[in-house]
Amino acid sequence: MKISKVTPMTMGTEWRNITFVKVETDEGLVGIADSRIINRTEAVIGYLKEAVPRYVLGSDPFNVEQLVNRMYLEDYGRAGELVMTGIALIEMACWDIMGKALGQPVYRLLGGAVRDKIKAYANGWYTVERTPEEFHAAARRVVERGYQALKFDPFGAGFYEMDRAEKVKVIGLVEAVRDAVGPEAEILIEMHGRFNPVTAIEFARLLAPFQPSWLEEPVPPENTAALKKVADAVAPLGIPIATGERVHTLFEYRELFELQAADIIQTDITHFGGILNTKKVAAWANNYYMLMAPHNVGGPVSTAAALHLDASTTNFKIQEYFNDFAEAFVKEAATGLPEVVDGYFALPQGPGFGLTLNEDVIEAHPQRTSLHFNLYAEDWQRRQVKDK
């Protein structure tokens, strides 16, 4: 079996462009993938334009180890977010094809299921004013939907440090969310790499009374020693450090593991060269007793890919999910994904990812070429991004 055609197509939504890829074979099987590529959609499509004829067409979709290695190595230049996203889109679609060819769900090809349901946490639910009242009401809506875990960034447009009044405001927002969800739900604090180490450590201390289940990306992603400084200071508070959505290769994880600078890694399959690389990094993390909580901000196919990985990974912790709080058509672009019920996904069905792509839905919502989602702008949490 050989890959005969690759078709990228991008769907515009309120705050994201989601790029889908359809990979066809000479035997008539079709595999799909998707990824949200933040603010650089055209660059990944441009990468695929060059890489697909060079590496993908004519390849056997079962040979993902060889295909990914060639795409990574034989261009010579170092691969980062853009290239590892392009590679992932192809690799994920190959797994869908393999599952369809064998009549099996993908998780059965990754070692088989080690759990019978997959815990989820909600994100993208606080598209409201940054006030305790509005955060409280929005958090209530999440738990009323059955979620037992939710994540939010209460820090506005903060960067490196915050003044005293802003810190008081942040504490009020977290207090309101804890009050809304009750003592048993998990609240996950997202820092989006905003802070210098001393500010991140201070916030850990200020927010510890609300018992967050993790602090995510407390410092920017480039300096692992700075992250280690935060992790060491925060560990006595009993708050785990999570990071990894902006780590794009296995090599880039080496220092993080050697320093044991985090407790939870958040690899994004769609920005890490795909499912097999993510499976490898999960196994590597397990040697340090670290847990895997895959980052996931894409459409239904990247969510399905994550669920198949989660189902088959022993040190999996919890799965991020946005699309219960996004426009309904995001889910309709590919149907067949289980819904979150009482805070959990059921195991995904096969064969392959178990989804059906609906190209008419994608075509009805064209790519937004001037969309800029800026996490350092005031009121970014509203996720209402206007075209420039």
Determine the Cα–Cα distance for residues 109 and 308; give it in Å rounded to an integer.
9
CA distance linking residue 96 with residue 144, whole number of Å: 34
Backbone dihedral region for residue 243 (phi beyond 0: left; psi -120 to 50: alpha; all else: beta): beta
Give CA–CA dist 156/147, Å, rounded: 24
**Which candidate in 136, 248, 295, 365 is catalytic?**
295
The one catalytic residue in 192, 248, 271, 308 is 192
* The two structure tokens encoding residue 69: 């290695």
* 104 token code pair: 């099996």
Query: Would you call 136 a catalytic residue per the annotation?
Result: no
Clarify whether 372 is annotated catalytic.
no
Long-range contacts of 112-117 (CB under 8 A, 24+ apart): 112/312, 113/311, 113/312, 113/347, 114/311, 114/312, 114/313, 114/314, 114/316, 115/310, 115/311, 115/316, 115/347, 116/347, 117/344, 117/345, 117/346, 117/347
Distances, alpha carbon 77 to alpha carbons 49, 71, 83, 87, in Å? 17, 11, 10, 14
- Give the residues across from 117 on adjacent strands: 346
Q: Which residue has the tokens 């609300």?
A: 210
Let me know: does 87 contact 65? Beta carbons within 8 Å: no
Catalytic residues: 192, 295
